[in-house]
């Protein structure tokens, strides 16, 4: 393959990784922040239960799959970038 094709694969894979993984990460982090704020509010109002573990649920299965897909596409982008440098 010509080096420009590898560079194109790098750009496409990096863009796809961002498009797939970033929304899932933002959704997860936003939900975590809302859950933490709710826990703090309940504790401030005296309604929190002491000794109870956190009520946060973590990532959903869909978020986890999308983040793994984003990581895989990011790895593909890195491999294609290395191939670009080797081919040029």
Mean pLDDT calculated for residue range 72-81? 97
Cβ pair 78, 87 in contact under 8 A? no
pLDDT at 52: 61
Domain of 67, in residue numbers: 3-49+57-87
Instruction: Please give the model's pTM, rounded to 2 decimal places.
Output: 0.74
Number of domains in the chain: 1
Please give the mean pLDDT across all residues of the chain.
86
Q: Which of 47-51, 57-61, 62-66, 84-88 has the lowest mean pLDDT?
A: 47-51
Residue in this structure with the two tokens 């309604």, named with its chain if needed: 47
Residue-level pLDDT at 31: 82
Between CA 81 and CA 3, with CA 5 as vertex, the angle to 5 degrees is 65
Long-range contacts from 52-60, C-beta under 8 angstroms, 24+ separation: 56/32, 59/28, 60/28
The stretch 17-44 carries a mean pLDDT of 83
């Amino acid at each position: 393959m010509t080096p420009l094709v590898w560079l194109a694969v790098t750009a496409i894979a990096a863009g796809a990784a961002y498009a797939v993984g970033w929304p899932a990460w933002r959704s997860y982090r936003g939900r975590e922040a809302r859950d933490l704020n709710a826990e703090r509010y309940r504790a401030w109002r005296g309604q929190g239960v002491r000794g109870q573990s956190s009520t946060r649920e973590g990532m959903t299965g869909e978020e986890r799959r999308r983040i793994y897909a984003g990581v895989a596409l990011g790895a593909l982008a890195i491999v294609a970038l290395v191939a670009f440098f080797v081919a040029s």
